Structure 1
């Protein structure tokens, strides 16, 4: 029996083209020209798959998707979106869409996506409805699989209390198994989300696809984001919940978004620098000529100001072009390096200025610190800039402390000062190009530092309060052997 596909597309030409291509491959297709018609046809026909444009008249594609997944969660939905609408496509994936394809798209990509996801849906339907247990599987074997499974699993009774928990759940929630058994499952969720959370889990767990969501959980070691999946057991009211810590994933997503933001800002500032350079050359050249002609006259002081400001802008443009060139064109040379040696040289370079300002420097370096895999010159530039910033933050003196700490497969370098500090509201913006609290400079130093740390697959974080100093922590992996951006190791 051919698979039935509903195509919801407001462009008559594109909708007909997609339907004809799918029909040629053996699919049974129907068309809808707007969101309301698409939802009506879906309700009447309950097709196996929907090809859904997101930008629809009368009812937005996201609202259509939401209703489709409420009515029949197992339906395969492939959404179509235009360039620049990836954020909306991400929302569609979170609502249950199986895939998204950007217009203009290739026919083979759409066909392949539909085929793969329809095959998966068919397999899942078989597993849910027909797949028997393997022969001769004894109860103790299944119990051991549950107990030793690497995923955190909880068995919850109709009163929302934990009946059984495996080792992974005990590790995730930082409690002993005997403490978990009998405890209300809502107690592991942060207080502001507990109200009716399990009601929603139970409502969706009864659907064919089960429940999938994210929640902040709480344990003795603090709050953390977790993914929760839930399905009903054969016994009425009993659930199986699978939990997964999302802390690392969220950190990676944050770094990815920061990288995209820096990349887009880099393109903007490159364009600005290019457009500004030529007028600056003309203004500066004519101002210098006029200053030579008016040398000694009172009006020449105005030209002195113009020339001075032009020179400042020319330096800023040069800084921008250097930053963009570095982010795109530099070639890294990775090798095992001793961080103690590199940071010591950076501190020695600024020691004279520190002493002149009354800054006391303390350098703590353990003897057994492992080497890291990095670019010596880039790391020297990174830590030289961070040490310089710390000293500049203490114009009337203070304490600068540099220490190292090995943490599993990482080496942390902490640079602490007792200077003016950073306003907490500014901490989210310190890596943005042109953001600076100094009276001079372009604010590209920390943006470049972020690029260098990202190049080394590390992390950089600041903790600070106004008037209470700053702690900058750079963590670098001991062994990071992958091809770096812009060059080879």
Structure 2
């Protein structure tokens, strides 16, 4: 069927109307797109201003973990972070774990700084943001507060310290004066000389413990196997326990796990617990020393079957200068707790009169 002239005119009008509507829609879309571009520009500008205004460092990552954008705080910390760099590789090469879990050391232009990291993925799954907070001043304030607390404790106990220092010093002077007598037999001279030396060594230990407590632990960082440390301590203590007629049982169930921290300081803290157990036990007593991994912590236990500790004394055991032994300095457990806490752990006690005592020292695996 051949279309009429009227039908041709109708089709032309419809085509023209459709073209007009298309043009209007196109213009509307163009305007909307321009509006969106303006909004994106404003949001981008606001985001950039916010990035630069934040006191924390900000690193924007894409979904692959590569750096898209950083703010000036990050640039000041690291000098440069090239876009496209994998953040995991970059941070692994520039950040060094410290003795405090969750804190990292970074070498900046104005000296070493301490930072914490917080990573948050975007809800869209298209990347994430890393916040870097500088906690250097907070760390310094914490160290200063700890040192002030130690010095305050020493000030409160100065009278007791004078007594503790005077007693071994007076004994050493007395023994030394006796040695000057001409009519001493060789055997007596040797005995008195050994006693004087013993008192002087006790005095030296007391002074060393006081200085260590006042100064605080300067912790090094090195990985060391738990089992090796346990074996070394057992080898050192076993002859001492055997000489007193005490049985020592040792077990390490850590699977060759390593801890990162100050090996010497940890060994000193555990030695203090072991020596305390030997000193409180009589002949025929038993000590159990074991180690293992519990969750995110390495766990060391020193248990004895001695007379136990009264509940009212347990709360005071870790107080500086508190001791239940006449020859004790009262600083060993306080220093040991400081070492444990510096490694992200602590020391706990479980004791019951007549049923023995167990000390538990923990260290954070990621310390």
TM-score (norm. length: structure 1): 0.37
Structure (1 or 2) with the larger CA radius of gyration: 2
